[in-house]
Each structure stands twice: as C-alpha cells, then as structure tokens.
Amino acid sequence: MNSQCGKQYNYYTLDNGLRIVHKYDNTQVSHLGITIDAGSRDEKPYENGIAHFIEHCIFKGTARKPYYRILSRIDGVGGELNAYTTKEETVVYATFLNQYYERAAELLSDIVFNSIFPEKEIEKEKSVIIDEINSYEDSPSELIYDDFEQLVFGRTGLGRMILGTEEKVKSFSASMIRDFISRNWFTNKMVISTVGNIPFDKFVRLIEKYFSDVPARIASNKRHTTYRYIPKHIEENRDTYQTHVMIGNICYSYRNPKRVAFTLLNNMLGSNAMNSALNMHIREKYGNTYSIESSYTAYRDSGIFQIYAGCEEHFVEKIKDLIIKELENFKNKRLAQSSLSRGKQQLKGQLAIQFDGNQNEMLSIGKALLNYGRVSSLEDNFEDIDTITPKDILEVADEVFVTEKLSSIVYH
C-alpha cells in the first residue's frame, strides 16, 4: 500500500490494487463513488448492452442484503444512490450527510463486489430497460448521436449503443453478467473517489475496513483499435416534425496532446454558451434553427467531433452550408490573440463552475485518476489552457475540419 499528497488531492493504493483519490471539503454533504474501467465498448457483439444492464442489476441484491434494503440504505436517510454507464466506464456513487460516510462505503463495497444477480430480479429489470430503449428511440435528437457514432466507428465497440437492443437485453442471464464482470472488472482498474468532510487518514481507514478484503484482480492496459474511418452520408425518413442534422469527424483521443487545444476550439465553435460561433452566426443571425451546438468526446484511442442542428426541413441545405462556412473560417483564418484570450477565459469559467459542484468533482477526479494516473487541479487545467496559441488552434482546425472527411446524418 502507498499514499501521497498533491496540491488539493490525496492518493492511496490498497494492496489489492484499488486506488483512492480524496479531497477534503468542510461541508455537510459528502460524495463517494467507484469508477470502473469497463463500459459498453468492452462487450462482445452478442452481449451489447450488458454493461448498462449490470449497472441496473447491482442494486437488486447481494449476499447480505435484499434489494429493498439496498435501495433504502442511503435514500432512507435523505441521500442518493445512483450509477451510470458510458462506453468506457461504469460508475456507482452516493451522496449523503457526513455522518453516513461509513454506511455509504460499506454499501458501495457490498453492491460492487457481492451482488448475486437474482434471476427473478433480472427478468423484471429487462422490461425496465426495454422501456428505456423504446423511449430513447422516440427521441431523435438524442438517438442521432448514437447513430452518428455507429456511422463513424462502424462495428467496433465504440460504434455500438450503450443501451443495446431489445433482442440482446432479452437474452441476458446471471451467467452472462458474471462472465462480463470476470473479463472486465479488475481491482487495479477501479478508483474510489470522494469529496467531503472527512480527514484523509480517517477515510483511508474506512476504505481499508470495507475494501481491503476484496481479492486482487490485476489486468494490463487494454483497448486499442485501429479505425478505418471512411466518411459517409446518410438520410433517413423518421417521420419527425423537426429535421435533425448531424455533421462531424473522427477526432483526438484523450491521450493526444492536441486534445486541450481542440477542446478550446470546440468550446468557441459550438458550446452551450449563447455566444458560440454556431449560435451567433447561424441561429441568431438567420433564425432558421431551433438549436445548434457542437460536442467533442475523447476516448482512450480515438475521439469524435459532432455538430447537431434541429431545423425545418427546407432549411437543411442552408444550415449545412453555413456550418461548413464556420469550419472553413477556423481553418483558413488564424484567430486574433484577443479572440483567443476571450475563448480561454470562457472555458476557464465553465471549468470553474463544473468544479464548484462537489458531486461533479468527485466523479471527475475518479475518471481522471483512472485514465491519467493523476488528477489535475483547476489551476493545472488553467495553465494548460493558457499555453494554447493561435497556431495550435489553426493546426487542429486544419486536421479535423476537413470538408472531405466529414460524415453526416439527416433525419427527416
């Protein structure tokens, strides 16, 4: 076991490989979570959706507790127990009043490492998730993001939907769940993170009490796929009132040093801020789209850049032309230093607001330690942003905003 201290964060590693990151905050409400390096991209094709299914089923009973005790253990004292699945992680976490730290630690340990997955509960949960899939498919503005990733990444793990399909979900069993866990859940690929009102040494003792007996399961680094990306363009008739447009490209992984510059560029281009280039130069100037925004998601070995717009059908071609024009502007014209400075300040402010929420920070630092082996403070992030030059922005724009390399989907 070993421990160390950073500027704001304390680290510790148990003998079984489980890592801890801790931040003290003098508050009445604390947050504790476990981030597991396993998501939907780690599924085999026949089990697509099982990572998300497991996220639901770990609350359905352990060797020590029936489901109703699990569901009331934290919620019954005014807290919240929750989980979510991404393409690369599964996260289980709790929010609670400080006096329930030990209760939360014991509960998370129990459900992550001792769930028994009763067949009766599995069958009930299938109906819940199938309803979730059907509801999702009724939301084209959300579904188009998954369809676009499938267009870009093809039949690889990143191209499959996190929820899976109704047919796949109906086939799941307790033995399939245990098989996925045995292949993908390793103690050295998990991080326990907390932000709350507990001294570091006390927190370490608490985690040792409830997690040190977990058997060590050690895995080497995994996930590397070579993507043979070929731009594609698809139009589908989905009988929707509004037409939905998605344009984008494959992009940088989170290990690529150009990731920071592109994050800043994407934020200036089409973040949720009302003064983004896409919002100002398309929505506000012409008024022919209800919503328009860009996003950038980085994965271990790749990434994806997307622009979404919702509009009336007769505006589709104009919207697409205007989007390409904005991308060309970033490619062909070096940003003025004053514009870049304003963009940096805006991104810093958004990061500060994100870090201001303790639950968001707890989740963020767990993922950071899992993926990078360390947590960057807000000041570290600011320093990285400050080093970006107009040349850096021009370089990433030239590499990603290439018209011939863009793919698109349109739902009519």
Per the domain annotation, does 365 fall within a domain?
yes
Binning pLDDT at 50, 70 and 90, where does residue 274 land?
Answer: confident
Tell me, yes or no, whether 64 and 143 share the same domain: yes
Tell me, yes or no, whether 24 and 120 share the same domain: yes
What mean pLDDT do residues 56-79 have? 93
Tell me, yes or no, whether 248 and 137 share the same domain: no
Binning pLDDT at 50, 70 and 90, where does residue 73 land?
Answer: very high
Tell me, yes or no, whether 178 and 311 share the same domain: no
What mean pLDDT do residues 139-160 have? 93
Tell me, yes or no, whether 255 and 398 share the same domain: yes
CATH number at residue 402: 3.30.830.10
Amino acid 2: pLDDT:
58
What mean pLDDT do residues 183-209 have? 97
Tell me, yes or no, whether 239 and 354 share the same domain: yes
Tell me, yes or no, whether 156 and 256 share the same domain: no
What mean pLDDT do residues 177-195 have? 97
Above pLDDT 70, what percent of the chain?
Answer: 97
Per the domain annotation, does 221 fall within a domain?
no
Q: Which domain holds residue 191?
A: 2-211
pLDDT tens, position by position, 383-395: 999 999 999 999 9
Query: What's the CA gap between 93 and 200, in Å, rounded?
Result: 19
pLDDT at 64 > cutoff 60: yes
pLDDT tens, position by position, 84-128: 999 999 999 999 999 999 999 999 999 999 999 999 999 999 999
Tell me, yes or no, whether 50 and 12 share the same domain: yes
Per the domain annotation, does 217 fall within a domain?
no
Per the domain annotation, does 138 fall within a domain?
yes
Binning pLDDT at 50, 70 and 90, where does residue 8 land?
Answer: confident
What mean pLDDT do residues 136-149 have? 92
Mean pLDDT of the chain: 93
Amino acid 227: pLDDT:
75
What mean pLDDT do residues 64-78 have? 93
pLDDT tens, position by position, 294-343: 999 999 999 999 999 999 999 999 999 999 999 999 999 999 999 999 99
Tell me, yes or no, whether 115 and 238 share the same domain: no
Q: How many domains does the chain have?
A: 2
Per the domain annotation, does 192 fall within a domain?
yes
Amino acid 379: pLDDT:
92
Tell me, yes or no, whether 93 and 34 share the same domain: yes
